[in-house]
Structure 1
């Protein structure tokens, strides 16, 4: 890409997306922030690039990569039309959409999410698979399970209406996580490896695609979308 001052639809990239820039120069990785990041998404994304450098020493060219740290795609195609032969703006993102130019990149939680006590993916996967293997599928709770923050999207608010009542049981067992309480109590009730006790697990988006999907699929339960 040319540089972080490139204009997209009349705005500078950093003004549109509030991104950060990861730069690889002569075997070293650098991070430049244009705005304060929410939690540590930028730090763990850079850690992923550092791991890449360690896996392939001396094989990566010098480059600059712009990352959006927000949830929703930020470069809609309708607002960023390019002349024929001109490449669209390059913005890496944790999610994409067919209507946007954002380039999908593995989300930060693959390398860890300490604010909610999530370990790097390799460790989380082993823990989840170990606990899931303790209960055969047919011996699990026959209902569908979901646990998370229901306040981040209308879809999740709608899902919470499927709680069982005295007149109707939708066979969904839905639980709200209060992260402030979890933090103060040592995350005892939000461990991902303890959430593989049901035959079915529900996936529902938050503001956009949710990083929870990979943990749901790792439980070896039937995923409900």
Structure 2
């Protein structure tokens, strides 16, 4: 249980939504969708602090660059994205889990709409699995320049994949929520939702019984 009385302020972000109500990815943007967004940039604007990680992630190929052969050598990948003159072309090699690849496509379309003409031509491959298929520790020293250039949501096994608040305001939410009702007076009921097809989670589905376990287990 979380409290909405948290006074921690977060920076507001502009929202640029895509009207993508259909799962058919072969359709074009609706005719009523604006071709561009009038986003004004001032001369004193600077890149966000986290942009430095872009240089950190790409420093492996800074000296020798990335060749087409390196891109095409990647086999364990979900799709390949090519952007030429502001138009995106996608070739899907495998279906990602649920809608991970679909939402990635939408994010790319939002970038193209928000920054028309500002995205450079590019050619990249993307993988949407939980675990990264390219391990940094296998490409150190002289081998670093030959690391396969695969984009991914996670850098290694220690990268968190849940977008939560910073710990200080989150801890405050926990304390305020717990103070609203004692644990001994709460209803003994458990709810869990996730993928039941991997590892020990397969056994968790056997506990899905309100009558026997007071637990509701939902396969996602």
Normalised by the size of structure 2, how large is the TM-score?
0.45
Higher RCO (Cα < 8 Å, 6 or more apart): 2
Q: Would you tell me which structure has more strand in proportion to its own residues? A: 1
> Which of structures 1 and 2 has the bigger CA Rg?
2
